Amino acid sequence: MKVVIVGAGIGGLTAALSLQRVGIRDVTCLEAAAEIRPLGVGINLLPHAVRELSELGLLDELDALAVRTADLTYVNEFGQTIWSEPRGIDAGYHWPQFSIHRGEFQMMLTRVVRDRLGEDAIVTDSRVSNVETKGNTVCVTTNTDIYTADIVIAADGIHSAVRAMWHPHEGAPIWNGAVLWRGTSRVKPFLSGRSMFMAGHRQTKFVAYPLKRIDADGLQLVNWIAEHVDPTLNDVQTNWNRSVEIDRFLPLFDSWKFDWLEVPTLIKAAEKVFEYPMSDRNPLDSWIRGRVVLLGDAAHPTYPIGSNGSSQAIIDARVLAHALATRPIDEALLWYQSERLPKTRAIQLANREMGPEIVMQLAHERAPQGFESIEDVIPLAERTEIAARYKSIAGFDPAILNSRPSWDASYSDLG
Ligand SMILES: Cc1cc2nc3c(=O)[nH]c(=O)nc-3n(C[C@H](O)[C@H](O)[C@H](O)COP(=O)(O)OP(=O)(O)OC[C@H]3O[C@@H](n4cnc5c(N)ncnc54)[C@H](O)[C@@H]3O)c2cc1C
């Protein structure tokens, strides 16, 4: 079976490794960028995605690059704890949660794809402009070449050209009025040194987590995201990932000084800050046209809430490879879609309602000036239910994840 993958992002590269794992080796990844560079800052890989990466033999590589996240804490803007929970192995999962530099992760995947599938498995400077199924063959046109394949996986991200071909009137991603400023700073460790925290509420929020172990000088590289809803900053929509000055948002966080971390100090220590709109797209009813199928952000772009963007792309990749290994092609595509589309749709919709972070908004609405005891504001049963519900929606309920069968399979040509 010949497979062409559009896009060598985290979704496309994991799809290539997943296909190789089940025994489908004739795989070509077409990437628009002239070279794959370590872009972006931090992301979290949740245990359900780490399980898949681990079954692809990448656990040691991840451990070498990333921090095993130990706990997650939500606080209000005064630093008072709303909810705290262990994460990864510390939470009873069989697999860790990793905080990792997105670009370094993508570079590692690139190297492993080339090691396992050959140098030619990734073709850069190759922008796909047309994809067309003719009978049982798909014809892919790029700026430099024409390829044919039995199936094409479109993993070309939130600005997917393939999706735009199918939905020419969909337009740009939908912006919700919030702007994200993202950076990394070397600072003293906070909380456990492997902690992720989120502070604030829907209007103004701050998230941080370490990306590297503590250095010899006692400092640690921390990824952070400042977020604020301001629809007047609408030039952000056409300037994804531009570098900006901290003055644009620092005053919003002037008073956010907690016993264990001062947010303004963290922001001021950043070398560069990138601006990004909080955007997603509406869920689709179908991800398949002929023998072309969407995967990752091309299929289900979601707000970066609940740390799920990359994780869901990785799970898509493994489920699709399993389907192609165990079913005839057309049936496999439909089965993959039926397995993944309803789940990712539920995540897209849950993230529009703040996902698990809704506890922060509830605390703000019920106790805007802070509280003596969180129990008087949001009882434990309500907080527990919010955290458990999101894990169930997003597929990382620990008991279910630990006990479900693997997506490993062996390919035999079923036509
Ligand atoms: C620079 C960057 C920074 C990010 N930072 C974060 C973050 O901090 N936190 C977070 O949760 N998520 C972040 N994301 C999103 C996250 O990486 C994705 O949700 C997730 O990894 C899904 O990946 P994907 O492979 O589906 O899409 P993407 O990671 O967007 O990859 C798509 C790939 O397709 C390529 N491509 C696009 N069009 C074409 C075409 N026509 N032909 C060929 N190739 C094409 C792109 O160059 C890209 O390499 C970021 C994405 C990017 C691109």
* Residues linked to residue 204 through DSSP beta bridges, in sequence order: 228
* Distance from Cα 374 to the centre of ligand 1, integer Å: 38
In 281-375, DSSP assigns E strands to 288-289, 292-294
In this predicted model, what pLDDT tens digit does every residue of 50-99 receive, in sequence order?
Answer: 999 999 999 999 999 999 999 999 999 999 999 999 999 999 999 999 99
Please report, rounded to a whole number, the percentage of residues in the chain having pLDDT higher than 70. Answer: 99
Ligand 1 atom closest to Cα of residue 12: 25
In this predicted model, what pLDDT tens digit does every residue of 115-151 receive, in sequence order?
Answer: 999 999 999 999 999 999 999 999 999 999 999 999 9
* Distance from Cα 102 to the centre of ligand 1, integer Å: 10
User: Average pLDDT, stretch 266-286?
Assistant: 95
Question: Where residue 413 falls among pLDDT bands split at 50, 70, 90?
Answer: low
In 135-173, DSSP assigns E strands to 137-142, 146-149, 151-154
The pLDDT value recorded for residue 86 is 97
* Distance from Cα 264 to the centre of ligand 1, integer Å: 29
Strand bridging mode 98-101 / 42-45: antiparallel
Question: Angle at the Cα of 390 (from 226 to 402), degrees rounded to 5?
Answer: 115
Strand bridging mode 292-294 / 151-154: parallel
Decide if pLDDT at 169 tops 80.
yes
Question: Where residue 389 falls among pLDDT bands split at 50, 70, 90?
Answer: very high
Average pLDDT, the chain: 95
* Distance from Cα 363 to the centre of ligand 1, integer Å: 33
Question: Angle at the Cα of 63 (from 196 to 83), degrees rounded to 5?
Answer: 20
Place of tokens 């900006």: 244
Strand order in the sheet with 292-294: 122-123, 26-30, 2-6, 151-154, 292-294, 288-289
* Distance from Cα 11 to the centre of ligand 1, integer Å: 8
DSSP string, 62-125: HHHHSEE--EEEEE-TT--EEEEEE-GGGGT-SS--EEEEHHHHHHHHHHHHHHHH-GGGEE-S
Decide if pLDDT at 238 tops 90.
no
User: Average pLDDT, stretch 183-189?
Assistant: 96
DSSP 8-state symbol, 257: B
Ligand 1 pocket: which residues have CB below 6 Å?
A: 6-12, 30-33, 39-43, 102, 127-128, 155-157, 161, 182, 241, 296-298, 304, 309-310, 313
Residues with Cβ within 8 Å of residue 102, at least 6 apart in sequence:
10, 38, 39, 40, 41, 42, 43, 310
d(CA 149, CA 136): 9
